[in-house]
A and B are shown apart, each in its own frame.
Chain A
Amino acid sequence: MKFTLSWLKEHLKTDASLDDILYALTDLGLEVEDVVNPLDKLDDFTIGYVADAEKHPDADKLRVCKVNTDEGELQIICGAPNARKGIYVVVAKPGVYVPGLDITIGVGKIRGIESFGMMASEREMELSDEHDGIIELEGSPSIGSKFVDYLKKNKPETVDPIIEIAITPNRPDALGVRGIARDLAARGIGELINRDTEVEIDGKFSSKLKISIDQSTLNGCPLFVGRVIKGVKNGPSPNWLQTALRAIGLRPISLLVDITNYYTYDRNRPLHVFDMDKVSGNLRIHQAKGGETITALDDKEYVMQKDMMVISDDNGIESIAGIMGGLNTGCDENTVNVFVESAYWDPTKIAITGRKLKINSDARYRFERGVDPLFTISGCDHAVALIQKFGGGEASNLITAGSVPDVSRSYTLDTDRVESLVGMEISAKMQIKYLTDLGFIIKGDQAYVPSWRPDILGSADLVEEVARIASLTKLVGVPLPRLSDGVPKPILTPMQRREAMARRTIAALGYNECVTYSFIDRVSAELFGGGSDNVMIGNPISSEMSHMRPSLLPGLLQAAQRNQARGVMDMALFEVGPVFHGGEPEEQELLASGLLVGHTGPRDAYGVRRAVDAFDAKADAEAVLSAIGAPEKLMVLRGAKAWWHPGRSGKLSLGPKNIMCAFGELHPKVVEAFNIKGPAVAFAIHLENPPLPKKKTTTRAALKTSDLQTVDRDFAFVVDNSVEALTILNAAKGADKSLIFDAYVFDVFDGVKAEGQMGPEKKSVAFTVKLQPKETTLTDKEIEAVSEKIIEKVTKATGGALRG
């Protein structure tokens, strides 16, 4: 919302400085966004005196002037008819920017004679449209002084700052200058000037024009009024009006249009003027059937949808109600007979129609926020009076359809509650004064809401009004009481601790944390089992961000690809965050995923570099699961989802159903789809799946150690390639559950060489079994017995044979 200081002063009598006004506006919640002084652009113009002026030898209309300036006498060629000796003028020397011409003055030759600058007209300085000649200054101003100083002294009205404020959606009343003035007056910045007296329109005749509102449309348009004016002269509007509109960025068009714009900004009262000679028959306000078209004042054609409110005559739809008039019945310079419309439209209906048609007009902006219904008739009459004042004509009696909607209401003002909520001392007397100044009427404990404040819908809104006017800047902090004495209690839930622990553990394992977008492109989503319509965003900002992610891995793969494009080939990235299995709130899951790409590190002189593999991912996943307290003994399952390498991936699971994590190599097709130079291995941990620990005590189980030395025994078995290590180890451990406390593989010999030695599809697996004697040292015989049992069990479980 833009307005000038002088416009504000039409409504507010004040001696306050501009700074005080600006401060108060922002403090009141009418945040000042910009202040422009129109004279700033004229700062370089100076005052000169034409010491001599002679006709240009080669041009009848040009004069060669000698102008006294702060830089001595300058020769300036001028074409203005009033350029002559002995006048004080405004000079733009070379290098000065002239806003009205949008050029910077240079030294030039005009018909062979050099010119060192320009003498300016009002239009060239955007002071007015006056361009009949150059400015002649009155009196004898000081030569070389700044023109803006002259203006400030002699024409203070031109020093009119333009103020732009941000209007929060609850304050339609502040979309009119009067509403802003009212707020300032309540704050004590001056006095609201009474301009609400009813204007008396001398209705000379009853128009034949009839207005009707369809019964079904009365909800959307409870009131529609207007007057016909005959014999108007629709010329240019008066200077003050043009200046006011131009200052706030509106182009003056004609008296009729300018006056409707004026009331839009002055009183938040949008109006519309029909050219009566183009209206056929009567006007009817109704809802569109759908499919009708109208060319609006912006020259665009709009197709009406069912139930949109429109104004029609015998020719069809002539106006999109409350949003934009139609071109067919619009006014132009030949217009003489008009109908001035003023109506109250339901904000919601206007909002819906405006949004659907994508029309952002001043009228829509105001009607959807809410105008003052009680000003509907007065607004019409104010405008008609102004039109008659400057354009003449005879006004008809008021034509009315519907009735003024009753918006009267009151809410309880609990002055103690106001103080308790705001936390500031504001006496009941002052509270009542503030509200009264804003237009509320206080009767007992009831505050009656002024008709221009549709946003006041309860007692809480009264609190805000009082606090706003009293000034929240004055608020002094008061300590929040502590919840309890003593040491504060921990506040994180077990799941929140788990998330933080997972995050820091993965970072400690050497991964760099990423935060990637929750939405990805459809193809990437599909590769990871997502991309269906129920996770699709209806209005994505790009096709790269169209679907909620089913997994963290596509985002990490894209990140890896971007880094590879920058020349970093090896990396470890991770993310902890939500994935979305469906489009409903409860279909969100917290995952922690890590991605290893390329090699374990850069090329090095020690020969430790190698390509990453599934076991890197598995080790890291196990470290994280251990850190977040997942059960130690998990099943290793195959059959991970399609985006994993079918043979080189697995899942860690508690029982067959409760998956803790997936790990392994990513499917080569996925790696290729993301344009990544692999290998790429990953893990994805379902952070919510490990059961939360049940124990309440901090005491740990007693540590049992034995003084007896452990005994290691190594075995090597030739087995089929498909036999898994876990099968062998489980069989070995099963041989003597009390003696054997650990078993692990220390060597696998497979591949072509191994098959050459041991036969096709065979490999050798060597493992260590660790025995812990319980009471006495084991004898060779006892060890021998366990060994035999191990061999027997492993042979039985795997079909393999002890390697000779």
Chain B
Amino acid sequence: MEALNDLKSKYLNAVSEAVDESALENLRIAAVGKKGEVSLKMRELGKMSPEERQTAGPALNALKDEINSALTAKKAALSDAALNERLQNEWLDVSMSGRPRRQGSLHPISQVTEEIVAIFASLGFSVAEGPQIENDYYNFDALNIAPEHPARQEHDTFYMHRDKEDERAPNVLRTHTSPVQIRYLEKNGAPCRIICPGRVYRADYDQTHTPMFHQYEGMCIDKDISMANLKWTLEEFCRAFFQVDNIELRFRASHFPFTEPSAEVDIRCSWAGGQLKIGEGDDWMEILGSGMVHPKVLHAGGIDTDIYQGFAFGMGIDRLAMLKYGIPDLRAFFDSDLRWLRHYGFASLDAPNLHNGISR
């Protein structure tokens, strides 16, 4: 047994002192390999008496296990040490920026248009569209704006060129989204609930006007629709759009050739400290024009006014975006300055909807 203890301390010491995997392998062969010292001793078991064998056998097996365990443990320790040493040298300057990746954005007009669509969709309004080069009829006549009436002159209309020999009235760039009302009614009839967002054009360019801007038209035609319904609809829209509970709207009599009665709508707000707050304060800000659709307009759309009546309204999309998101200058909307697009833009996946909220 003395010999076994010597053998044990010899190999365990050697294992603990081994410096690399090949030294360990040599030790394994020398100790528990086929011709290793421990293996040779085990072969000698056969020559022993049964009594001797009973003590020597387990002792040898235990020695073999112990050496094997030591070898495995040392091997793992060596490999950990090697990894640690390698990791010591593997170092990144993590303060460096990540690999460049472009970040896209959506224009505020697109985002706000989707916000408007989401709100009106919940009230059953669908989206209708129409051409931006319009003929005289849809932009004016069908909307009860007579050719030489001053109301038409107030539109600052862009006219398309016509060749001298072409006697048709020149087409126009639509001055409002209202022609879509007629086109929609002609095609789909009543009842209906639609909004019509899109580009419109007026020959005007200064601090607060651009020759192109965006509007949306809303129209609801049914058997028993009143101006009171219009007011409720607009109140609900403003509540949802501006995310303010205590919205207050004021209807003021006005005139639009395509509605009768007509009203301009003001919203209660405060400009205290140069900051717009909707729903509080003592100021009133005009936000839209509206009214009950004029019977002549309904007739132009082929609607029987003995059965149907309804309301329509129009609002500036760019203006709504400016008010809601505090964007100061309309002209910058169309300048495509990347600094502006990134600052006032919206994330590509951030589509507004009612369950997720429509404000960002």
Which one of B27-35, B63-71, B107-115, B267-275 contacts A? B107-115
Is the pair B232, A480 in contact by a Cβ cutoff of 8 Å? yes
**B242 contacts A by Cβ under 8 Å:** no
Residues of A within 8 A of B167 (CB): none
Which one of B1-9, B42-50, B343-351 contacts A? B343-351
The 8 Å CB contact of B161, one of A533, A542, A556, is: A533
Given contacts A483-B193, A510-B104, A514-B107, contact A472 B295 (CB under 8 A): no
Is the pair A601, B220 in contact by a Cβ cutoff of 8 Å? no
Is the pair B96, A492 in contact by a Cβ cutoff of 8 Å? no
**A775 contacts B by Cβ under 8 Å:** no
The 8 Å CB contact of B121, one of A491, A548, A562, is: A491
**B150 contacts A by Cβ under 8 Å:** yes
Is the pair B161, A170 in contact by a Cβ cutoff of 8 Å? no
The 8 Å CB contact of A534, one of B100, B161, B341, is: B161
Residues of A within 8 A of B154 (CB): 169
Is the pair B224, A479 in contact by a Cβ cutoff of 8 Å? no
Residues of B within 8 A of A484 (CB): 124
Q: Mark B228-255, 1 if CB is under 8 A from A, else 0.
A: 1111110100000000000000111111
Is the pair A422, B100 in contact by a Cβ cutoff of 8 Å? no
Which one of A45-53, A84-92, A344-352, A703-711 contacts B? A344-352
**A585 contacts B by Cβ under 8 Å:** yes
**A170 → B minimal CB distance (Å):** 5
Is the pair B104, A540 in contact by a Cβ cutoff of 8 Å? no
The 8 Å CB contact of A168, one of B254, B295, B336, B338, is: B254
Given contacts A468-B261, A518-B201, A536-B161, contact A473 B250 (CB under 8 A): yes
Residues of B within 8 A of A562 (CB): 335-337
Residues of B within 8 A of A351 (CB): 148-150, 153
**A642 contacts B by Cβ under 8 Å:** no
Residues of A within 8 A of B252 (CB): 26-27, 29, 31, 472-473
Of A478, A490, A515, A534, most B-chain CB atoms within 10 Å: A515
**B196 → A minimal CB distance (Å):** 12
Q: Mark A662-680, 1 if CB is under 8 A from B, else 0.
A: 0000000000000000000
Of B107, B124, B193, B336, most A-chain CB atoms within 10 Å: B336
The 8 Å CB contact of A169, one of B151, B228, B309, is: B151
Is the pair A460, B127 in contact by a Cβ cutoff of 8 Å? no
Residue of B nearest to A506 (CB): B104
In the complex, chain A residues 579-632 whose Cβ is within 8 Å of any chain B Cβ: 580, 583-588, 600-602, 604-606, 608-609
Residues of B within 8 A of A477 (CB): 228-229, 231-233, 235
In the complex, chain B residues 199-227 whose Cβ is within 8 Å of any chain A Cβ: 199, 201, 203-205, 211-212, 220, 224-227
**A462 → B minimal CB distance (Å):** 9
Of B124, B129, B160, most A-chain CB atoms within 10 Å: B160
Is the pair B100, A585 in contact by a Cβ cutoff of 8 Å? no
**A461 contacts B by Cβ under 8 Å:** yes
- Give Cα A750 to B143, complex, Å: 65
In the complex, chain B residues 325-345 whose Cβ is within 8 Å of any chain A Cβ: 333-339, 341-342, 345
Residue of B nearest to A573 (CB): B336
Given contacts A169-B151, A516-B336, contact A420 B104 (CB under 8 A): no
Given contacts A351-B148, A503-B110, A517-B211, contact A583 B161 (CB under 8 A): yes
Is the pair B351, A504 in contact by a Cβ cutoff of 8 Å? yes
Which one of A12-20, A206-214, A563-571, A783-791 contacts B? A563-571
- Give Cα A348 to B348, complex, Å: 52
**A537 contacts B by Cβ under 8 Å:** yes
- Give Cα A55 to B263, complex, Å: 67
**B105 contacts A by Cβ under 8 Å:** yes
- Give Cα A540 to B212, complex, Å: 12
Q: Mark A473-510, 1 if CB is under 8 A from B, else 0.
A: 10111111011100010111100100010011111111
The 8 Å CB contact of B170, one of A424, A538, A541, A604, is: A538
- Give Cα A168 to B255, complex, Å: 6
- Give Cα A767 to B193, complex, Å: 57
Is the pair A467, B96 in contact by a Cβ cutoff of 8 Å? no
Residues of A within 8 A of B203 (CB): 539, 541
**A726 contacts B by Cβ under 8 Å:** no
- Give Cα A420 to B159, complex, Å: 39
Of A514, A568, A588, most B-chain CB atoms within 10 Å: A514
Q: Mark A366-395, 1 if CB is under 8 A from B, else 0.
A: 001100000000000000000000000000
**B292 → A minimal CB distance (Å):** 5
Residue of B nearest to A534 (CB): B161
**B260 contacts A by Cβ under 8 Å:** yes
Residues of A within 8 A of B173 (CB): 518, 537
**A644 contacts B by Cβ under 8 Å:** no
Is the pair B337, A169 in contact by a Cβ cutoff of 8 Å? no
* Residue count of chain A within 8 Å CB distance of chain B: 105
- Give Cα A578 to B149, complex, Å: 31
Residues of A within 8 A of B109 (CB): 515
**B132 contacts A by Cβ under 8 Å:** yes
Given contacts A458-B295, A477-B228, A601-B101, contact A482 B124 (CB under 8 A): yes
* Residue count of chain B within 8 Å CB distance of chain A: 98
- Give Cα A518 to B309, complex, Å: 35
Is the pair A496, B231 in contact by a Cβ cutoff of 8 Å? no
**B177 → A minimal CB distance (Å):** 14
**B36 → A minimal CB distance (Å):** 43
Residue of A nearest to B297 (CB): A460
Residues of B within 8 A of A491 (CB): 117, 121, 124-127
**B295 → A minimal CB distance (Å):** 5
Is the pair A423, B229 in contact by a Cβ cutoff of 8 Å? yes
Is the pair A508, B349 in contact by a Cβ cutoff of 8 Å? yes
Residue of A nearest to B160 (CB): A583
- Give Cα A41 to B102, complex, Å: 59
**A512 contacts B by Cβ under 8 Å:** yes
Residues of B within 8 A of A422 (CB): 226-228, 261, 292
Residue of A nearest to B138 (CB): A585
In the complex, chain B residues 74-125 whose Cβ is within 8 Å of any chain A Cβ: 96-97, 99-107, 109-110, 114, 117, 121-125
**A545 contacts B by Cβ under 8 Å:** yes
**A559 contacts B by Cβ under 8 Å:** yes
Is the pair A478, B160 in contact by a Cβ cutoff of 8 Å? no
Residues of B within 8 A of A545 (CB): 211
In the complex, chain B residues 130-157 whose Cβ is within 8 Å of any chain A Cβ: 130-135, 138, 146-151, 153-154
The 8 Å CB contact of A369, one of B125, B150, B212, is: B150
**A107 contacts B by Cβ under 8 Å:** no
Is the pair A476, B161 in contact by a Cβ cutoff of 8 Å? no
**B113 → A minimal CB distance (Å):** 9
**A464 contacts B by Cβ under 8 Å:** yes
**A681 → B minimal CB distance (Å):** 14
Is the pair B334, A515 in contact by a Cβ cutoff of 8 Å? yes
- Give Cα A737 to B107, complex, Å: 46
Contacts A/B (CB < 8 Å), 18 sampled = A29-B255, A168-B254, A171-B255, A423-B230, A475-B228, A475-B251, A482-B124, A484-B124, A500-B351, A507-B348, A509-B102, A512-B341, A512-B345, A517-B212, A538-B158, A562-B336, A583-B160, A585-B130
Given contacts A467-B227, A482-B124, 11 further A-B contacts (CB under 8 A): A170-B255, A423-B230, A424-B226, A483-B124, A491-B117, A491-B125, A507-B348, A512-B338, A519-B212, A533-B161, A559-B336
* A residues in contact (CB < 8 Å) with B: 26-29, 31, 168-171, 347-348, 351-352, 355, 368-369, 420-424, 458-461, 463-464, 467-468, 471-473, 475-480, 482-484, 488, 490-493, 496, 500, 503-519, 533-542, 545, 548, 556, 559, 562-563, 566, 568, 571-574, 576-578, 580, 583-588, 600-602, 604-606, 608-609
- The 8 closest A-B CB pairs, nearest first, are A423-B228, A423-B226, A510-B102, A477-B232, A559-B336, A29-B253, A168-B255, A507-B348
* B residues in contact (CB < 8 Å) with A: 96-97, 99-107, 109-110, 114, 117, 121-127, 129-135, 138, 146-151, 153-154, 158-163, 170-171, 173, 193, 199, 201, 203-205, 211-212, 220, 224-233, 235, 250-255, 257, 260-264, 292, 294-296, 309, 333-339, 341-342, 345, 347-349, 351
